[in-house]
Amino acid sequence: MPDTLGNTACLALAIHHDTAPAMELDSPTLPAAAPPPDHLGIRLHINGQIYAVAIEPWVTLLDLLRDRLQLTGTKKGCDHGQCGACTVLVDGRRTLACLQLAVMRDGADITTVEGLARGEVLHPIQLAFMHHDALQCGYCTPGQLCSAIGLMNEGQARSLDEVRELMSGNLCRCGAYVQIAQAVAEVALGPGEHRSERARRPIVTGTVPA
Amino acid sequence: MNPFAYAKASDAGAALMQIAPATGAASAADAAAKFLAGGTNLIDLMKEGVLQPGRLVDINGLPLDTIEELADGGLRLGALARNADTAYHPTVQKRLPLLASALLAGASPQIRNMATNGGNLLQRTRCHYFYDTLVPCNKRAPGTGCPAREGLARQHAILGASEHCVAVHPSDMCVALAALDAVVHVRSPRGERDIPFAELHRLPGDRPDVDTTLEPDELIVHIDVPPAAPFAAHSVYLKLRERQSYAFALVSVAAALDINRAGRIRNARLALGGVAHKPWRVPAAEALLAGEAPARAAFERCADALLQGAQAHGRGVGSNAFKIPMAHRAIVRALETAARGTVMNTTGSAP
């Protein structure tokens, strides 16, 4: 039951707060004054479930998902907005969970990789990634999948080259880019092999070559 | 990230009240209160300990996210409109292809969905010494020195730098806005004012810690871009970088030409990114093109004038001397391309 889960999360956080208020330990200098009032109450709709949590304002959405709600499908890669591994959908738009505070998203509808399948039925983009073998180690995959769905929601990609450019916010250190681009193009543009137009002609000034 | 207080503001008046230091309790933390919009740069800087504001005022609930047409044909870009929504807005694409193109050359789709127009203007340099709190940096810790001048400076300035700082402003959007003569409208407890884009960002001089002419309690409300119809058919944003997408510019060029029926240039607009502490514009260099036919010789003279005084920084593999000839060629190439037509950052729009 959605509410049960949400309450569990909330209760867990409340207990955590009473015993040991969490603070990040890596700050070189903390203000000398008393700590500011912390723990704001927020409600998030995550993958169709309602989570009511009390959270410090300095917790990122990524850390909330992974460390406090145990939704560890979303990955922490660089934690600085450079790799795209933490991509989640906020109100249907792809965003980086590492560069937003959880409190900024009070009331928002959030979809993580855990929310893509319907029960045992995988999302078409998940099936396409499997079909195209679009991963090796898999660490970037949750972000790639959410980013691909965001790309489709945006509706701006009309060719393989545009898919490649508009997936450029997701790095894959295994280098599965060719297969990733084909998988995304198959779902976003339609079946069949998609070919790069750009590869057949010289780079055009001013465009962003994908 | 350091602990901080957080409050959401529902309108501009409330946001300005909340950003002001509390009366009688003007602690250092209060003085460091900051507006929070997209957060893509601010939160990152806070994670690194570069910035440690005591209070964040979340302005995402303010109704400043629209793109409006002005009576004179210009466009008003809301400070909180997201970069992606601005770039893909049909009117922006049609009337300000230079701006749309520059926006889409910046960051990644995820970041463009988050980052706001106001925030884009106020983003900080990506100088690695600025980001590394273990090394000196005059911008982060005034008076400590600038390791970039004799260090790794590929991403650093060739124009307008000072002995105290060779950082560059990292924005693509701002380069286009500078070329388009945008005006930034701000509000503070003292009232409202308009800042011509050329006066928003400043050169480092002996105060590299100060990026802009904004006061800490001033809120960007919107950005007005005057009508640019004469340039819409000949606009190019050329961005050169270490990789082909999702990287900051080594050199970028916003070029826009107004070409008359006789095929001569009436007006030219030209701004450079990645080379200075602010978008680099030299009106005298643009004036050299007025009345000229769009030909390489004229473009090269213009590039010479635009790059006058260029100076390399960094040492060894970190030297950015290569950026001076690279910028020269980029300017000529952007102008030659603009003369042929407008290029958008999509594969289907090559002239």
- Specify the higher pLDDT residue, B348 or B206: B206
Whether B44 sits inside 8 A of A80 (CB atoms) is yes
Q: What confidence score (pLDDT) does residue B88 get?
A: 96
pLDDT band at B351 (very low <50, low <70, confident <90, very high): very low
Which CATH fold would you assign to the domain A2-115?
Answer: Ubiquitin-like (UB roll) (3.10.20)
Residues of A in contact with B343 (CB under 8 A): 204-207
Residues of B in contact with A206 (CB under 8 A): 101, 236-238, 334, 337, 343, 345
Residues 6+ apart with CB under 8 A from A125: A116, A145, A148, A149, A152, A183, A184, A187
For residue B62, pLDDT over 90 is answered with yes
Contact A29/B at CB under 8 A: yes
pLDDT band at A190 (very low <50, low <70, confident <90, very high): very high
- Specify the higher pLDDT residue, A13 or B266: B266
Please report, rounded to a whole number, the percentage of residues in chain B having pLDDT higher than 90: 92
Whether A94 sits inside 8 A of B1 (CB atoms) is no
pLDDT band at B31 (very low <50, low <70, confident <90, very high): low
For residue B187, pLDDT over 90 is answered with yes
Pairing of strands B5-8, B55-58: parallel
Average pLDDT in the B249-277 region? Answer: 98
Average pLDDT in the B56-82 region? Answer: 98
Residues of A in contact with B88 (CB under 8 A): 154, 156
Smallest Cβ distance to A159: which of B236, B344, B347? B347
Q: Report domain extents, chain B.
A: 1-63, 234-349
Phi, psi for B263 (deg, rounded to 5): 85, 15
Instruction: Name B80's bridge partners.
Output: none
Contact A78/B at CB under 8 A: no
- The Cα–Cα gap between B256 and B231 comes to 6
- Mean residue pLDDT of chain B comes to 94
Whether A38 sits inside 8 A of B52 (CB atoms) is no
The candidate with the shortest Cα–Cα distance to B72, out of B224, B269, B255, B235, is: B224
Q: A104, A110, A167, A170: which to substitute to probe chain B, counting the most B Cβ within 10 Å?
A: A104
Contact B96/A at CB under 8 A: no
Lowest mean pLDDT among A130-134, A197-201, B76-80, B103-107: A197-201
Q: Which residue has the tokens 């090559």?
A: B350
How many inter-chain contacts (A to B, CB under 8 Å) are there?
A: 154
Q: What confidence score (pLDDT) does residue A66 get?
A: 98
Contact A158/B at CB under 8 A: yes
Phi, psi for B326 (deg, rounded to 5): -65, -40
Q: Interhelix angle for B296-306 vs B323-340, to 10°?
A: 140
Q: What confidence score (pLDDT) does residue A38 get?
A: 83
**Superfamily name and number for A124-189:** [2Fe-2S]-binding domain (1.10.150.120)
Q: Interhelix angle for A177-189 vs A141-154, to 10°?
A: 30
- Taking CA–CA distances from B253, the nearest residue in chain A reads A206
User: Whole-model pTM?
Assistant: 0.91
pLDDT digits (tens, 9 = 90+) for A145-185: 999 999 999 999 999 999 999 999 999 999 999 999 999 99
For residue A22, pLDDT over 60 is answered with no
The arrangement of secondary structure in B1-63, i.e. its CATH architecture, is 2-Layer Sandwich (3.30)
- Taking CA–CA distances from A93, the nearest residue in chain B reads B113
For residue A21, pLDDT over 70 is answered with no
For domain B234-349, give the CATH number.
Answer: 3.30.390.50
